[in-house]
């Protein structure tokens, strides 16, 4: 579909197909303020500009990077903020996101060390069993049962 100015526009079904999202998701994004309100036809149908496709790509990419929809809205919004003020707000938000990521990485590394330790316990028990050590109990299950109490 072409607008009067000649630029490409999309009805909600076309935009959904182009973006890989459902029409319901697009309406939800509108309600959240992630997308600008679309123009309406005389019949009340939503008409989106080609620019909306780029907004949706940004939203999806930000979600892939771990941003929540609320955070994406903040990135796109900051009503009344422009220039340096907006950039500072985005910078502060990114700093917070990096701090969260560093905490999560530390937690994942600790979990990795725990799993490696459990794996070594299992390997050791299995090697002893293969050398004629009988049918031992699994040390990991025993440890987890003890820790649960």
Domain with CATH 1.10.1660.10 in the chain: 1-69
Does the 1-69 domain belong in CATH 3.40.640.10?
A: no
**54 versus 116: which is more confidently predicted?**
116
Over the stretch 1-59, which tens digit does the pLDDT of each residue have?
555 455 789 999 999 999 999 999 999 999 998 988 889 989 989 999 988 998 899 99
Query: In the 8-state DSSP scheme, what is residue 48?
Result: E
Average pLDDT of the residues of the chain = 87
pLDDT reading at 120 higher than 60: yes
Both structure tokens of 92: 């502060």
Q: What is the pLDDT of residue 12?
A: 93
pLDDT reading at 110 higher than 70: yes
Over the stretch 123-132, which tens digit does the pLDDT of each residue have?
999 998 888 8
Half-sphere exposure of 60 (CA within 13 A, CB side): 12
CB atoms within 10 A of CB 116: 10
d(CA 147, CA 149) in angstroms, rounded, equals 5
Residue 35, CA distances (Å) to 57, 76, 102 in order: 12, 9, 30
pLDDT reading at 148 higher than 70: no
Q: What is the pLDDT of residue 86?
A: 81
């Amino acid at each position: 579909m072409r607008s009067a100015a000649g630029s490409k526009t999309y009805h909600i079904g076309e935009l959904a197909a182009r973006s890989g999202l459902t029409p319901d998701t697009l309406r939800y994004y509108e309600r959240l303020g992630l997308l600008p309100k679309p123009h309406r036809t005389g019949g009340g149908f939503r008409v989106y500009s080609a620019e909306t496709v780029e907004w949706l790509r940004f939203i999806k990419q930000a979600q892939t990077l771990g941003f929540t929809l609320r955070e994406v809205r903040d990135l796109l919004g900051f009503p009344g903020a422009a220039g340096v003020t907006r950039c500072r707000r985005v910078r502060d938000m990114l700093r917070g996101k990096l701090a969260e990521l560093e905490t999560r990485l530390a937690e994942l590394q600790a979990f990795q060390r725990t799993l490696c330790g459990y794996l070594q316990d299992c390997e050791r028990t299995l090697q002893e069993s293969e050398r004629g050590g009988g049918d031992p109990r699994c040390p990991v299950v025993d440890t987890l049962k003890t820790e649960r109490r």
